């Protein structure tokens, strides 16, 4: 009885004080505290909210000590998000242990090494990009110990095994491969079977493993090892396992679709005794399978925990009906998924906007112009797939005086060798007497000065122009003479030039871009990436007067970038990758760079990459479902002088907003065939939505006149009422479900369609039955 009262009080208090009135399933998930529970639910359906409430319930109603509850999630960002939400909801409660699985694993590992007296050293982290996973991990590789950094070890192993230098792409791929193998717990004899685009990858991994054990006085450990070691220790050291098992009575995991095999194994061991495990997940938001996440585990949950309760939640509380309906249809293009039907009772807001710009260079400016109008900047997020997008954004937003928070900054940009090269070229325009500057760029412009020639040049210390010295004292090939003399002149003419034309001269007349292309062919660098850096540098240079200003601006932006990481929670715009935006929500979301080649990426689009493509769809879906009311997709037709095409995902969204028709029907229309459901309307709806989105206004339906008139067609909006049975020219019979703004929603046999009311009336597409 008392218990019942306390429970009621708890839920009432949640309603009155926190304004959260849990729905039936949410409440069930909160009350179902004991035993295994799987909560599979759509985005914005309140998964994280439910976890937080469940913790509050455990503490307040079940009188569980906060220190006996463990909540884990995938990334540090989500762990912090949960921590903040908990504090907001239950400010007076003692804090609960919210953390990543990595930091739990680290604790276990550390204790084990301490017990056994094993000296170890962490060889990952500290290089800021990896910060996400370093939470609570002490003693990560310090900069001064860099030779023992994972990447450096791998680079050396690659060089000795493959006899080449590893490219950036290969390094990324190798790191992903290693994480994948470890997270999936793939045994060493199967390593060579895992698909990877790096020569000798499995051998490099073998050598890497043995180097970590024997190559140094201490045991070397990377982040993936923390997981595998923790899992092994929990398997073998029963005393230690028991200690951890006894420490927590309740374990909850959010974002479990991104949990890997080894992480699941750790959690399984942790809860073995009491099995009080609450797992919350959405398979449609699984976006880390490339790193070994295993969402299929969720499908087998019942096998691991036969008495598990499984609950589903499909009602979205976050977004307007426009966003929910379109996202729900969009994700259905994936085949490998639990079929769910996300819906909402939220009202409709503005339709999803698709903005086509003629060129990439207008993107950041366009965003500035739009976001300048918004009062509360913390309501806005700009989301992109690739981190490299962030530098141009940052530059433009800073110029406009709009503050921002950047979730995962691209630290590599400012220290990239292409940036260094450009600065060295610029230094050369101030003085051409410094051999040390030429040393850095001698292979990268017209004339191509060889190593031997550089060595000869170094011996001449007369303080004269390096070019004059080359021409006078160093044996040159015939063709080099004119090129070097020309380069000398060019450098001199560039003296005092503003940075933008200077970069263009470096790229063009001095032949830097040609040299880069050759390097790409020889060393396997990604050309688009390098040219992208040059283009970004040009964007930064716009409007600056001197090369010195340019160098200062780069320094300034680098500092700004570091600061932007710490602006969370202030009234600032959020810039984030799609990946890092998972779990978060914003009033207004701008998804940018939506072109084929970026999302989906060229790899996703390869013929045998169905799984990659599906993951890319999920990533796009995660982006869409971050928005509460305003969702805008930004596309451009040109980038860096090359034509780009709208992301096929945006085309999907267009087609959902405005269903297209097929060629056959075009032919039928051309021949003037008539009605009875066989003829489809011509493919102008795409054109229409495109123009709509560009001009922001409706466009006359020029082609309507070509259709044969249907005398029975509905011509007045008044006649469109929900529940009414209608015959559509192309989709056949259906029932009107609802009318919203300029759309009529009709349920046909094949599913529900949102049709443009204007189009239906003007073209006489619907007739009453
Ligand atoms: P994601 O899949 O993106 O992580 P989620 O399922 O974790 O989403 P939440 O972030 O918990 O969803 O909730 C989304 C939004 O819906 C939040 O603003 C939350 O406050 C609100 N919400 C959740 N449940 C309810 C409810 N029962 N009544 C009103 N609002 C709710
Ligand atoms: Mg969530």
Domains of the chain (ranges, CATH numbers): 2-103+230-313 (3.40.50.300), 324-409+565-658 (3.40.50.300), 415-542 (1.10.486), 690-768 (2.40.10)
Binned at pLDDT 50, 70 and 90, residue 2 comes out as confident
Q: What is the pLDDT of residue 25?
A: 92
179 is known to lie in a ligand binding site: no
Cβ of residue 444 lying under 6 Å from some atom of ligand 1: no
Residue whose CB lies within 8 A of the most ligand 1 atoms, among 25, 28, 46, for a mutation test: 46
Nearest ligand to the C-alpha of residue 18?
1
DSSP letters of 168-237? HHHHHHHHHHHHHHHHTT--GGGGGGS--SSTTHHHHHHHHHHHHHHSSSSEEE-HHHHHHHHHHHHHH-
Cα–Cα distance measured from residue 683 to residue 306, given in angstroms and rounded to the nearest whole number? 52
Q: How far is the CA of 351 from the centre of ligand 1 (A)?
A: 21
Q: What is the pLDDT of residue 662?
A: 56
Q: How far is the CA of 46 from the centre of ligand 2 (A)?
A: 7
Cα–Cα distance measured from residue 374 to residue 127, given in angstroms and rounded to the nearest whole number? 35
Q: How far is the CA of 408 from the centre of ligand 2 (A)?
A: 19
pLDDT for 279-294, tens place per residue?
Answer: 999 999 999 988 888 8
527 is known to lie in a ligand binding site: no
- Give the mean model confidence (pLDDT) for residues 201-222: 94
Nearest ligand to the C-alpha of residue 581?
1
Binned at pLDDT 50, 70 and 90, residue 408 comes out as confident
Residue 376 has pLDDT above 90, yes or no: yes
Q: Which of 503, 502, 507 is nearest to 517 (CA)?
A: 507
- Give the mean model confidence (pLDDT) for residues 665-684: 33
3-state secondary structure of 545: coil
The three-state (H, E, C) secondary structure of 633-665, written as one string: EEEECEECCEECCECHHHHHHHHHHCCCCCHHH
In degrees and rounded to multiples of 5, residue 354 shows phi and psi of -115, 120
Atom nearest to 255 CA in ligand 1: 4
Strand 219-221 to 120-122 pairing: parallel
46 is known to lie in a ligand binding site: yes
- Give the mean model confidence (pLDDT) for residues 345-353: 94
Q: Which range, 9-13, 195-199, 222-226, 405-409, is most confident?
A: 222-226
Check if the beta carbon of residue 531 is closer than 8 Å to that of residue 640: yes
* DSSP state at residue 72: E
Cβ of residue 41 lying under 6 Å from some atom of ligand 1: yes
Q: Which of 302, 301, 346, 295 is nearest to 325 (CA)?
A: 346
Atom nearest to 23 CA in ligand 1: 27
Residue 664 has pLDDT above 80, yes or no: no
pLDDT for 84-100, tens place per residue?
Answer: 999 988 999 988 989 99
Q: Which range, 128-132, 141-145, 192-196, 496-500, is most confident?
A: 496-500
Of 132-136, 503-507, 600-604, 717-721, least confident by mean pLDDT is 132-136
Residue whose CB lies within 8 A of the most ligand 1 atoms, among 78, 282, 318, for a mutation test: 318
651 is known to lie in a ligand binding site: no
Q: What is the pLDDT of residue 146?
A: 52
Q: How far is the CA of 222 from the centre of ligand 2 (A)?
A: 28
Give the helix/strand (H/E) hosting 10: helix 2-18
Atom nearest to 26 CA in ligand 1: 27
187 or 131, which is more confident? 187
Cβ of residue 26 lying under 6 Å from some atom of ligand 1: yes
pLDDT for 411-449, tens place per residue?
Answer: 678 888 999 999 999 999 999 999 999 999 999 999 899
Cβ of residue 318 lying under 6 Å from some atom of ligand 1: yes
- Give the mean model confidence (pLDDT) for residues 700-727: 66
3-state secondary structure of 117: coil
347 is known to lie in a ligand binding site: no
Residue whose CB lies within 8 A of the most ligand 1 atoms, among 41, 81, 295, 317, for a mutation test: 317
Q: Which residues are paired to 382 by β-bridges?
A: 575, 590
Q: What is the pLDDT of residue 709?
A: 58
Q: How far is the CA of 31 from the centre of ligand 2 (A)?
A: 19
Q: How far is the CA of 281 from the centre of ligand 2 (A)?
A: 8
pLDDT for 238-258, tens place per residue?
Answer: 999 999 999 999 999 999 999
Cβ of residue 312 lying under 6 Å from some atom of ligand 1: no
Residue nearest to atom 18 of ligand 1 (CA): 318
Check if the beta carbon of residue 176 is closer than 8 Å to that of residue 151: no
Cα–Cα distance measured from residue 741 to residue 743, given in angstroms and rounded to the nearest whole number? 6
Cα–Cα distance measured from residue 757 to residue 744, given in angstroms and rounded to the nearest whole number? 6
Q: What is the pLDDT of residue 733?
A: 86
Residue nearest to atom 4 of ligand 1 (CA): 583
Q: What is the pLDDT of residue 29?
A: 94
Q: Which of 733, 734, 728, 736 is nearest to 759 (CA)?
A: 728
Check if the beta carbon of residue 70 is closer than 8 Å to that of residue 251: yes
Check if the beta carbon of residue 714 is closer than 8 Å to that of residue 758: no
Q: What is the pLDDT of residue 145?
A: 45
Cβ of residue 623 lying under 6 Å from some atom of ligand 1: no
Between CA 422 and CA 430, with CA 426 as vertex, the angle to 5 degrees is 165
15 is known to lie in a ligand binding site: no
Cβ-based neighbour number of residue 11 at 10 Å:
18
pLDDT for 130-170, tens place per residue?
Answer: 333 333 344 444 443 456 889 999 999 999 999 988 877 78
Residue 683 has pLDDT above 70, yes or no: no
- Give the mean model confidence (pLDDT) for residues 457-464: 92
Q: Which of 27, 58, 653, 623 is nearest to 311 (CA)?
A: 27
Nearest ligand to the C-alpha of residue 39?
1
616 is known to lie in a ligand binding site: no
Q: Interhelix angle for 238-247 vs 101-116, to 10°? A: 140
Cα–Cα distance measured from residue 650 to residue 673, given in angstroms and rounded to the nearest whole number? 32
Q: What per-residue string of b and e applies to 685-699 under the rule 16 or more CB within 10 Å gives b? A: bbebbbbbbeeeeee
Cβ of residue 22 lying under 6 Å from some atom of ligand 1: yes
Q: What is the pLDDT of residue 728?
A: 82
Q: How far is the CA of 262 from the centre of ligand 1 (A)?
A: 29
659 or 632, which is more confident? 632
Q: What is the pLDDT of residue 710?
A: 66
Q: Which of 109, 116, 15 is nearest to 56 (CA)?
A: 15
Nearest ligand to the C-alpha of residue 285?
1
Residue nearest to atom 15 of ligand 1 (CA): 318
Q: What is the pLDDT of residue 409?
A: 67
Cα–Cα distance measured from residue 635 to residue 355, given in angstroms and rounded to the nearest whole number? 6
Check if the beta carbon of residue 327 is closer than 8 Å to that of residue 346: no
Q: How far is the CA of 415 from the centre of ligand 1 (A)?
A: 40
Of 475-489, 506-520, 608-622, 662-676, least confident by mean pLDDT is 662-676
SS3 helix, strand, coil % of the chain, rounded to 5?
50, 15, 35
Cβ of residue 47 lying under 6 Å from some atom of ligand 1: yes
Q: Which of 444, 446, 442 is nearest to 457 (CA)?
A: 442
Residue nearest to atom 17 of ligand 1 (CA): 318
Q: How far is the CA of 113 from the centre of ligand 1 (A)?
A: 41
Atom nearest to 625 CA in ligand 1: 3
- Give the mean model confidence (pLDDT) for residues 348-375: 95
Binned at pLDDT 50, 70 and 90, residue 67 comes out as very high
143 or 353, which is more confident? 353
- Give the mean model confidence (pLDDT) for residues 754-766: 80
Q: What is the pTM of this model?
A: 0.79
Atom nearest to 622 CA in ligand 1: 3
Residue nearest to atom 11 of ligand 1 (CA): 46
Q: What is the pLDDT of residue 3?
A: 80
256 is known to lie in a ligand binding site: no
Residue 697 has pLDDT above 60, yes or no: no
Q: How far is the CA of 22 from the centre of ligand 1 (A)?
A: 10
Cβ of residue 121 lying under 6 Å from some atom of ligand 1: no
Q: How far is the CA of 661 from the centre of ligand 1 (A)?
A: 37
Cβ of residue 46 lying under 6 Å from some atom of ligand 1: yes
Residue nearest to atom 29 of ligand 1 (CA): 20
pLDDT for 19-32, tens place per residue?
Answer: 888 999 999 999 99
Nearest ligand to the C-alpha of residue 254?
2
Q: What is the pLDDT of residue 410?
A: 65
- Give the mean model confidence (pLDDT) for residues 172-177: 92
Q: How far is the CA of 390 from the centre of ligand 1 (A)?
A: 28
Nearest ligand to the C-alpha of residue 52?
1
Percent of the chain scoring above 70 in pLDDT: 90
Nearest ligand to the C-alpha of residue 622?
1
């Amino acid at each position: 009885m008392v218990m019942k009262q306390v429970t009621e009080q708890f839920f009432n208090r949640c309603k009155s004080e926190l304004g959260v009135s849990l729905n039936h399933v949410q409440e069930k998930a909160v009350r179902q505290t004991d035993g295994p529970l799987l909560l599979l639910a759509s985005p914005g359906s309140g998964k994280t909210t439910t976890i937080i409430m469940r913790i509050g319930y455990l503490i307040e109603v079940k009188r569980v000590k906060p220190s006996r509850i463990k909540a884990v999630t995938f990334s540090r960002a989500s762990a912090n998000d949960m921590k903040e939400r908990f504090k907001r909801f239950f400010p007076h409660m003692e804090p609960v242990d919210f953390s990543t699985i990595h930091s739990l694993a680290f604790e276990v590992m550390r204790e084990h090494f301490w017990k056994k007296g094993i000296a170890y050293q962490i060889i990952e982290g500290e290089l800021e990009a990896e910060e996400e996973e370093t939470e609570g991990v002490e003693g990560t590789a310090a900069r001064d110990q860099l030779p023992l950094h994972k990447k450096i070890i791998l680079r050396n192993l690659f060089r000795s095994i493959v006899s080449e230098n590893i490219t950036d792409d290969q390094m990324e791929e190798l790191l992903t491969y290693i994480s994948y193998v470890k997270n999936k717990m793939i045994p060493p004899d199967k390593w060579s079977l895992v698909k990877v685009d790096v020569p000798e990858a499995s051998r490099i991994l073998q050598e890497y493993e043995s180097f970590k054990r024997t190559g140094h006085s201490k045991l070397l450990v990377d982040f993936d090892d923390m997981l595998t070691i923790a899992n092994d220790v929990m398997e073998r050291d029963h005393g230690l396992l028991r200690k951890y098992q006894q420490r927590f009575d309740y374990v909850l995991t959010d974002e479990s679709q991104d949990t890997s095999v080894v992480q699941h194994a750790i959690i399984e061991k942790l809860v073995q005794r009491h099995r009080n495990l609450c797992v919350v997940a959405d398979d449609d938001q699984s976006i880390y399978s490339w790193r070994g996440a295993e969402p299929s585990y969720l499908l087998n949950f019942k096998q691991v925990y036969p008495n598990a309760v499984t609950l589903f939640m499909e009602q979205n509380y976050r977004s307007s009906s426009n966003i929910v309906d379109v996202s729900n249809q969009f994700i259905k293009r994936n085949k490998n998924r639990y079929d769910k039907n996300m819906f909402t009772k939220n009202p409709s807001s503005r339709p999803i906007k698709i903005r086509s710009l003629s060129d990439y260079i207008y993107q950041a400016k366009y965003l500035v112009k739009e976001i300048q109008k918004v009062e509360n900047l913390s309501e806005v997020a700009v989301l992109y797939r690739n981190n490299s997008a962030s530098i141009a954004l940052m530059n433009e937003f800073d110029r406009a005086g709009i503050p921002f928070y950047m979730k995962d900054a691209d630290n590599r940009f400012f220290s990239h060798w292409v940036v260094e090269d450009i600065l060295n070229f610029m230094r050369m325009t101030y003085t051409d007497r410094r051999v040390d500057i030429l040393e850095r760029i001698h292979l990268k412009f017209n004339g191509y000065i060889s190593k031997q020639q550089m060595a000869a040049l170094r011996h001449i210390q007369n303080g004269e122009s390096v070019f004059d010295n080359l021409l006078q004292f160093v044996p040159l090939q015939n063709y080099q003479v004119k090129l070097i003399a020309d380069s000398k002149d060019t450098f001199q003419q560039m003296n005092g030039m503003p940075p933008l034309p200077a970069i263009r001269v470096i790229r063009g007349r001095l032949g830097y871009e040609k040299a880069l292309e050759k390097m790409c062919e020889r060393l396997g660098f990604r050309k688009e990436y390098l040219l992208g850096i040059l283009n970004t540098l040009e964007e930064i240079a716009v409007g600056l007067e001197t090369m010195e200003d340019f160098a200062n601006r780069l320094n300034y932006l680098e500092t700004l970038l570091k600061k932007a990481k710490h602006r969370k929670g202030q009234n600032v715009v959020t810039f984030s990758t799609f990946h890092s935006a998972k779990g978060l929500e914003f009033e207004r979301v701008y998804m940018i760079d939506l072109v084929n080649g970026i999302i989906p990426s060229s790899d996703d689009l390869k013929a045998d990459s169905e799984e990659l493509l599906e993951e890319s769809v999920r990533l796009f879906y995660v982006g869409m479902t971050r928005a509460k009311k305003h969702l805008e997709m930004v596309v451009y037709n040109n980038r860096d002088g090359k034509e780009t095409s709208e992301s096929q995902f945006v085309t999907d969204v267009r087609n959902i907003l405005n269903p297209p028709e097929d060629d056959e029907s075009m032919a039928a229309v051309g021949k003037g065939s008539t009605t009875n459901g066989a003829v489809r309307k011509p493919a102008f709806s795409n054109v229409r939505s495109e123009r709509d989105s560009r001009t922001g206004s409706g466009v006359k339906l020029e082609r309507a006149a070509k259709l044969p008139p249907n005398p029975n067609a509905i011509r007045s909006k008044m006649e469109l009422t929900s529940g009414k049975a209608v015959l559509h020219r192309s989709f056949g019979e259906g029932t009107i479900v609802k009318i919203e703004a300029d759309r009529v929603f009709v349920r046909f046999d094949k599913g529900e369609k949102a049709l443009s009311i204007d189009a239906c009336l003007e073209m006489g597409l619907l007739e009453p039955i």
